Amino acid sequence: MLQPPSFVVISGAQVQAATSAREEEITRIVRTAYELHGAGLTVNPDSYFLRFPDRPSSRIIALPASIGGEADVHGIKWISSFPENVTSGLPRASAVLILNDTETGYPFACLEASIISASRTAASAALAAVELGARRQDPSDVGRPIRVGFFGTGLIARYIHTYLAGNGLIFSEVGVHDSVHEHAEGFRGYLARTEKGHITVHDSPEDLIRSSDLIVFATVAGEPHVTDPSWFSHNPLVLHISLRDLAPEIVLSSYNVVDDVEHSMKANTSLHLTEQRVGNRDFVVGSLYDVLRGRTTPPSDQPVVFSPFGLGVLDLAVARYVHEQLSATDNLHAIPDFFHDLNRYG
């Protein structure tokens, strides 16, 4: 007779301990998840957005997914985005993630997932930066210091910086810009604790973009606010993590890579707006999986933009890893009798 699995709750502190200083390992896990997704060994339905008429900037998103391979797990992430939290000193996003057993379908773990979400987002960005950067450069240029610019300075920007550095990228200069100057200065203070490159806070978005080889957009923008393609005439590599910063004119003049074409053309992202304008998707050359497989090679004479919508399978892969790490050290907090009244006839 089948028995339900033990149900455990994993705190944010435990997630942090299981992932901290393991940026390369988490990035490899994310790469494997992308490869499984590209090979058709995942199920990743559309995200579902719960919105509120009285506060249009806020939302809660459900990301169900299933991943095969060694991970072999199903689950769902439930993540909220309430930008107004930031003015009160509370992070914008909060999340939980449920893992379901493949054999029985029973949930076996509930994890604090804001750290998982930030980690998989940062690992995806770092993977794209390393792979796209290396493949568009002359081999003799690989490993040279990079001028990086962060447009938006919240938790995601901090995680992306950590993962870029953790994957071996070296910065000669670090630029920072935020619409709230206090936030930009706070991020500069964080960078100064670990960063050896010169750090500059830019008051002008144009100055940040023109002075950066690698640009990270990690804002809460709801619609495009960067509109001039000439700012990108030096052909930088752009990690368009926040998805809605770039006007269609910039998208159309760039070499665009996504995590999943269908997912990226939704919810009024910059790519979605561009598709609505031109009536096709020809401006997207392929996915990061295509880049990893050598099916497309990013050019050096055109801006290269990576716009990942964010796949639930990445969250599952990282969550499964966290669960395994804690299970191996017997450090899981089980909830006794969580499943009850399991006898069909009482």
Contacts of 159 (CB under 8 A, 6+ apart): 118, 119, 121, 122
Same domain? For 254 and 179 the reply is yes
What pLDDT does residue 60 have? Answer: 97
- pLDDT of 343 over the 70 cut: yes
Whole-angstrom distance, CA of residue 129 vs CA of residue 257: 12
- The residue ranking higher by pLDDT, 344 or 322, is 322
Same domain? For 272 and 320 the reply is no
Q: Which residue has the tokens 């806070």?
A: 201
How big is the CA angle at 86 (ends 85 and 91), to the nearest 5 degrees? Answer: 75
Same domain? For 154 and 300 the reply is yes
Same domain? For 303 and 318 the reply is no
What pLDDT does residue 70 have? Answer: 85
What pLDDT does residue 153 have? Answer: 96
Does residue 145 sit within a domain? Answer: yes
- pLDDT of 264 over the 70 cut: yes
Average pLDDT over residues 81-109: 93
Work out the mean pLDDT of the chain and round it to a whole number.
Answer: 94
CATH number at residue 73: 3.30.1780.10
Extended strands (E) in 288-342: 304-307, 333-334
The answer to whether 326 touches 152, Cβ cutoff 8 Å, is: no
Whole-angstrom distance, CA of residue 235 vs CA of residue 225: 19
Same domain? For 291 and 329 the reply is no
- CA 147 → CA 3, 12, 43, distances in Å? 55, 33, 38
Q: Tokens for 312?
A: 């639930």
Q: Tokens for 275?
A: 């598709």
CATH number at residue 278: 3.40.50.720
Same domain? For 238 and 180 the reply is yes
- 13 by Cβ neighbours in 10 Å (0-12 / 13-18 / 19+) ranks as exposed
What pLDDT does residue 142 have? Answer: 59
Instruction: Give percent of the chain above pLDDT 90.
Output: 86
Task: Tell me the per-residue pLDDT of 291-305, one tens digit each, with 9 for 90 and over.
Answer: 999 999 999 999 999
Same domain? For 106 and 200 the reply is no
Does residue 39 sit within a domain? Answer: yes
DSSP codes of every residue in 90-123: --SEEEEEEEE-TTT--EEEEEE-HHHHHHHHHH
Whole-angstrom distance, CA of residue 61 vs CA of residue 77: 8
- 238 by Cβ neighbours in 10 Å (0-12 / 13-18 / 19+) ranks as buried
Same domain? For 181 and 59 the reply is no
3-state class (DSSP) for residue 296: coil
Same domain? For 54 and 144 the reply is no
User: Can you give the residue range of the structural domain that contains 18?
Assistant: 8-116+312-334
Does residue 122 sit within a domain? Answer: no
Average pLDDT over residues 61-90: 93
Average pLDDT over residues 171-199: 95
> What distance lies between CA 265 and its chain's CA centroid?
17
Does residue 133 sit within a domain? Answer: no
Whole-angstrom distance, CA of residue 199 vs CA of residue 43: 42
Average pLDDT over residues 61-83: 94
Q: Report residue 154's pLDDT band, with 50, 70 and 90 as the boundaries.
A: very high
Choose the weakest-confidence range: 5-14, 128-137, 140-149, 319-328: 140-149
Q: Report residue 86's pLDDT band, with 50, 70 and 90 as the boundaries.
A: confident
> What's the domain count of the chain?
2
Whole-angstrom distance, CA of residue 63 vs CA of residue 342: 28
Same domain? For 22 and 103 the reply is yes
